[in-house]
Each structure stands twice: as structure tokens, then as C-alpha cells.
Amino acid sequence: MLEAKNLTKSYGEIRAVDNVSLKIEDEKVFGLIGTNGAGKSTFLRMAAGVIRGDSGQILIDGEEIFENTPAKEKFFYIADDPYFFSNATPDEMSAFYKKIYRTYDQGRYERLMQSFELNRRRKINTFSKGMKKQLAIILGLSAMTRYMYCDETFDGLDPVMRQAVKSLFAADISERGFTPVIASHNLRELEDICDTVGLLHQGGILLSEDLDSMKSDIHKIQCVPSKDLEELNIRERLHILTEEQRGSLIVFTVKGEKEQILSILNEAEPVFLEALPLSLEEIFISETGVEGYDIKSLIF
């Protein structure tokens, strides 16, 4: 398990990470969401032991990470701009990581390079941004570490490659207890892969929750009531997060148990009543709206 306890990091007067506490469970995909400057990269660099926090702790399986070589063997870190040696080829980088990670699987590296159709002997500095991201992922998966930290890993990948990488992650989670931690500014990019999501804003964590739990506790309801909702005090009895009127149709986002919500609304003898699934985008808008968080900057 990866755990942060009251983790703080400042650069001068700028508080990049502000008293962050969260737990990242094994064998689940954790999505770290936040706009540029929210603290995602700083958090991952501390999780990778690249920099030390000013206060608090970040632990991997109960061990401090900074300047702890055995702890660092448990993860592979892919930065937003992956680093490769000057004039190196993929094969040369593979040979380097093979010396760093005892678990490195050269055969897997060769199979993945063939599947992704990357030239193993071409200079990496001639690769496109997307090709460099693909290579970094291939090297990371070949290291066969239990954890992988990915900073904007899908940025620069086309939709086909994104799906291929997600499939590889899912297979490794199932087969060997793999745990990816993926930081992104794009909410939609992670919706179909994450089990748990943490939302960073101005260095602090607004929420960190299991997606299934979040989806079971917030509901989108469409209703055309035949009786007056005010007379029945229905609004006062529901925890309504948002409400939108479209003619006679009312669309609620409501927090609580689904059966109880529908039971209360049925008292209005609705002509039409329907519960709809919520997207991750809608859940976050509902959960963070009171914080003044600009969710649109995460999506577009």
C-alpha cells in the first residue's frame, strides 16, 4: 500500500502539496486528478523519492521512500516528460533498466516492442512525443514492479494506443497484483480505468474515494410530478445537490440511498420517474461544487 500522511511540500511561498493524506490500495488503479499546478507532479516525485517533503510522510508498504533503495525497487516512475540518455536507443535503455531492476523481463520488453511496432535500434531522440510515451510504458511494464507512477502518461497517445495500454494494465492487475497510480488533468481520460480517484486542488486533496461507492451514493433522477413538491415537503426531505427544470421535467442530482430517494419522489405520484447513471464528470461536479472547484478545466 502507498500511504501519504499529512504530506506537505513548498517551493518558496508556493505550497505545492498542502497537508495531503490518502491511501492507495494494492491491485487497484488510482487516478490522481487535478489541473496544472494542482500538485500532482510534486506528489508523484515525492512518492518516487525524487524529492523529500517538508513535513509529513509518504510510505510504500510501511517504509519511507526517500533515499531507500529497496523501497524504490517496488515501483517504476514515468515522468510527464520521460527521461532517456542522450543518443540512446530503446535497447540501450532496456539494458540499463535490466541492471536497476532485478525483476526486469527482457523477453517481455522484446514482445511489447514488437507489438507496439517500435524500432529497438533507432535513436530515441528521433521519436515523436507519443512514441517516447509508448517506450516509457514498455520499459515500465517490463520492469515488472508492483507499482507504476504515471504522470500524464496517456497525453500524446492516440485512442488506439490508450486502449492498448489500459488493457495491459488491466491484465497485469489481474495476473500479478500490479498497482498503477495515474496522474492526469483530464477526467474523461481516466473514467473507464480507475477504481479510486483522488482530486487535488491548490495542493490539497478535496476527496479520495472508491468510484463504486461514489456512484452508489449519488443519483441522477428525472421526474415529472403530478403533485406539488413543495406541499409534500419533498425537497426538504432529500439531499439535493443540483436541480434543473426543463418544462415540466425536473432533473435532480441527489445524495443518498436510491430506493429511499425514489420512494419519497413517488409520493408526488409522478407521471414519469427515472434514475439515470452518473458519469464521473457529473459526480465530481456534484461533490466539489461547494468548494468552488472549476471542474471544466479538468475536462476540456
As to burial, measured by CB atoms within 10 angstroms (0-12 exposed, 13-18 middle, 19+ buried), residue 299 is: middle
pLDDT at 206: 74
Q: Is-contact 222 251, C-beta < 8 A?
A: yes
What residues have CB less than 8 Å from 134, skipping those under 6 apart?
116, 118, 157, 161, 165
Q: Does domain 213-299 have CATH number 3.20.20.140?
A: no
Distance CA 217, CA 189 (A): 23
How do strand 239-246 and strand 63-64 relate by DSSP bridges?
A: unpaired
pLDDT at 78: 96
pTM, rounded to two decimals: 0.82
Ordered by start, the domain boundaries in the chain are: 2-202, 213-299
Q: Is-contact 31 182, C-beta < 8 A?
A: yes
The neighbouring-strand residues paired with 75 are: 147
The set of cell numbers assigned to 56 is: 509529513
CB atoms within 10 A of CB 245: 8
The one-digit pLDDT tens for each residue of the chain (300 residues) are 999 999 999 999 889 999 999 999 999 999 998 877 889 999 999 999 999 999 999 999 999 999 999 999 999 999 988 999 999 999 999 999 999 999 999 999 999 999 999 999 999 999 999 999 999 999 999 999 999 999 988 877 888 898 899 999 999 999 999 999 999 887 777 777 888 988 888 888 877 878 777 777 889 999 999 999 998 999 999 999 889 999 999 999 998 999 999 999 999 999 999 998 887 777 776 666 544 445 555 444
Q: Which fold has domain 2-202?
A: Rossmann fold (3.40.50)
pLDDT at 288: 60
As to burial, measured by CB atoms within 10 angstroms (0-12 exposed, 13-18 middle, 19+ buried), residue 212 is: exposed
Distance CA 298, CA 147 (A): 25
